[in-house]
Structures are given as structure tokens and as C-alpha cells.
């Protein structure tokens, strides 16, 4: 009888942890990823920057930014996009997520669609690795790494189309 009780406790514990993880990831989806996507699609640099922590490590093929220069770049880029009459769509999905109560490491693929005033759409694809931390009760991006290549090969629609984009 005592072993049956122990077995039941051990069997239930992983399910409870999984439920907690899923709840945290849903919270992150609603408080970070949904606003992040909306900010891109409405060309709102301030809203995009609000999804990031005060201090962020940002790594791109252009280098490492530890001084948050990318935040000014977000605002300037979106101002230019609005001025040019451009529209942007952002789709993404997660390949892997590891989450606990205070930190989440998330890897996925994205597709950005740029529609110019003439209606022509150009897509760019990439992979991201993001670290989020719960700071003062709010989830914020603290590390952001992305690339348009894997092992020297460009990421294309073929990689992106392996999974369906998230819908919030």
C-alpha cells in the first residue's frame, strides 16, 4: 500500500509540473508574444520596446548590442516604414521552450512579410533564441538572438513551413 501511494505521487508530479509550465507559457504568449506581434504589425516601436527588459543582450549577424541601441533602431525603422507606406506581418512558431517560474528559454522560427506601397510582398525568414525573465511580476525579454542562416545556409520558407504559425 505504501508503494502504491508513492507511485501515485511520482506519477502525478510530472503532470502538475507540465500543467504549471503550460500555464506560464500561455501567460508569456499573452503578455509578451501577442503584444510583440501586434507592435510589429502596427509599426509601434514603443510597444515593441516595452516587451523588452531595461537591459537586454541582443545578438544579430551584425554583432552584439549591450547598450540597447536596437531599441532606438526599432523606433526609427517603424517611423520610416510608416512614412513609406509599408506594412509588416510577423508570423512565428516555437521549436522548443524550456520554462520555469522565473525564466523561459524559447527557440523558434519567424517569417516577416514586408508589403511596400506598391503591394509587392517580400518575405524574410529566420530563427530566434530568446530568454525571458519575470521582472517585478512581468515577463520581459532579456536576451534576443536571431539569425537568417543555419550552418551557413539561408533559412527559407521550407524551414518555416514545417510548422503552422501561432495564432493569438
Give the fold, CATH level 3, of 2-160.
Nuclear Transport Factor 2; Chain: A, (3.10.450)
Tell me how far apart the alpha carbons of residues 66 and 84 are, in angstroms, rounded to a whole number: 30
Query: What's the predicted TM-score (pTM) here?
Result: 0.87
Nearest to 115 by CA among 148, 82, 89: 89
Cβ–Cβ < 8 Å for 90, 160: no
Q: Is the pLDDT of residue 2 over 60?
A: no
Q: What are the tens digits of pLDDT across the range 76-130?
A: 999 999 999 999 999 999 999 999 999 999 999 999 999 988 889 999 999 999 9
Residue 5: pLDDT band by 50, 70, 90 thresholds?
very low
Closest CA to 25 of 93, 98, 92: 98
Q: What residue spans define the domains of the chain?
A: 2-160
Indicate whether 43 pLDDT > 90: yes
pLDDT exceeding 90 applies to what percent of the chain? 83
Mean pLDDT, rounded, for 12-34: 81
User: What confidence score (pLDDT) does residue 168 get?
Assistant: 83
Taking the C-alpha atoms of residue 26 and residue 34, their distance in angstroms, rounded to an integer, is 10
Amino acid at each position: 500500500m505504501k508503494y502504491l501511494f508513492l507511485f501515485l505521487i511520482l506519477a502525478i508530479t510530472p503532470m502538475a509540473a507540465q500543467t504549471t509550465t503550460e500555464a506560464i507559457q500561455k501567460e508569456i504568449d499573452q503578455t509578451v508574444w501577442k503584444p510583440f506581434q501586434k507592435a510589429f504589425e502596427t509599426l509601434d516601436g514603443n510597444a515593441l520596446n516595452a516587451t523588452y527588459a531595461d537591459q537586454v543582450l541582443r545578438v544579430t549577424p551584425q554583432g552584439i548590442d549591450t547598450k540597447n541601441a536596437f531599441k532606438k533602431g526599432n523606433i526609427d525603422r517603424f517611423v520610416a516604414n510608416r512614412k513609406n507606406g509599408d506594412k509588416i506581418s510577423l508570423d512565428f512558431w516555437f521549436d522548443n521552450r524550456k520554462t520555469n517560474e522565473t525564466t523561459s528559454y524559447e527557440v523558434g522560427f519567424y517569417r516577416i512579410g514586408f508589403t511596400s506601397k506598391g503591394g509587392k510582398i517580400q518575405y524574410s525568414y529566420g530563427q530566434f533564441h530568446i530568454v525571458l525573465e519575470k521582472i517585478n511580476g512581468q515577463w520581459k525579454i532579456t536576451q534576443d538572438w536571431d539569425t537568417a542562416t543555419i550552418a551557413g545556409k539561408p533559412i527559407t520558407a521550407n524551414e518555416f513551413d514545417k510548422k503552422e504559425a501561432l495564432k493569438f
